[in-house]
A and B are shown apart, each in its own frame.
Chain A
Amino acid sequence: MKGVWGWLFQRITGVFLVAGLALHFIIMHYSGPEQISHEVVMRRLSNPFWKTFDTVFLISAIYHGFNGMWGIAVEYVRGPLLLRALQFFLFVTAALLAGVGIYIISV
């Protein structure tokens, strides 16, 4: 994303990801080994709150990561055609990853 909106969304998703990751680590990794078992994960995913949280978390992470990659591409790639191709590639990859992630969450 270009200009001030890209910068702003990178910050907003970043702040959300820090808070979300803290929660993610506390719940998944510091609350006992059963938390990552199939049964407990599925039970959590059947709760609308966690489903919504995971979806927003997933989209935020993908946006933040791929927007960051785009920032790096803009800095290093000089040819406008190659840059356009990279932009397309990053967008399609991010969209596919988001699709797969949402499909997984929707179990």
Chain B
Amino acid sequence: MRYALQTGSVAWLIHRITGVLLTLYLFVHLYVLSHLKDPAAYMAITSLMKHPLVRLSEVGLLALVVAHAANGTRLVLLDLGVPTAFQKKLFWAAVIIGGLLSVFGAVPFIGGAH
């Protein structure tokens, strides 16, 4: 019996880590949006989004969201009764779909849509 690095436990760990990071990001997101009350302050803080490092972290954030969403969808499907025989296939489907969405979704961010 091998516990380490099975698809289920890797998915569980990724789900947990991305979940905690996304919850912490809620604070950052609301902090930025709190500047909406003052147009000049809002403009100042959103202009930070042009910075390459912020762009890069947005790509990272997208990957966190997509990873958590893809794995969460997998968990809901399993809860809804998809046979456990498909568990491994479902894991790899989540990895491939999540990977594609992260890569293609990152293009506008890097390309400078804003």
Contact = CB atoms under 8 A, between A and B. Distances in A.
Interface residues of B, number: 29
9 contacts: A18-B73, A21-B69, A38-B36, A61-B26, A65-B19, A68-B19, A69-B20, A72-B16, A104-B36
A37 B114 CA distance: 10
A100 B30 contact: yes
Interface in A21-40: 21, 25, 29-30, 32-33, 35-38
Given A15-B76, A35-B114, 16 more contacts: A11-B79, A18-B73, A25-B62, A29-B114, A30-B113, A32-B114, A38-B36, A38-B39, A38-B42, A38-B43, A38-B46, A62-B26, A68-B23, A69-B20, A72-B16, A104-B37
A21 B33 CA distance: 17
Contact of A14 (B20, B23, B72): B72
Nearest to A69: B23
